[in-house]
Homo-oligomer: A and B are copies of this chain.
């Protein structure tokens, strides 16, 4: 359990919402999503809260409350989801500042920052190439067997 599964939870929720929408049910409660993901409703509400703040889903309060997609599934990319639930950079620099009397210690942080930025950018470009609609199609193809 080294890596975290936040992206997985969020994508699962959105994919399930996309399928429900296709079937005519526009609004899902956190309880219904939690049943599919098999976790606690609060975990889902936390995740959908991130997605709401990013403008990917909308929420209705009161009786008949629940969540809906804010955009059609093919307009929600995995990068949108990643950016919404993973605010931290992929690689961390040193916890404590390295020795500035060493030439390497002096220059390595900005240098690494640039290499890390390029690497993360490559990841983001790839994530931007797939949408929730793609995940749903691929999921149904596998699940039908």
A20 CB → nearest B CB, Å: 9
A106 and B103 CA atoms in complex are apart in Å by 54
* Chain A interface SS verdict (over half): helix
Partner of A98, one of B3, B4, B38: B38
Given contacts A15-B108, A105-B37, contact A8 B91 (CB under 8 A): yes
Q: Given the complex of chains A and B, what is the CA–CA distance between A78 and B90 in angstroms?
A: 14
A38→B105 contact, CB < 8 A: yes
How many chain copies? 2
Could you mark each residue 76-120 of chain A with 1 if its beta carbon is under 8 Å from any beta carbon of chain B, else 0?
Answer: 001000000000111111111111001111111011101100111
Contact of A99 among B36, B91, B136 (CB under 8 A): B36
Interface residues of A (CB under 8 A from B): 1-5, 7-9, 11-12, 15-16, 19, 35-39, 78, 88-99, 102-108, 110-112, 114-115, 118-123, 125-127, 130, 134-136, 138-144
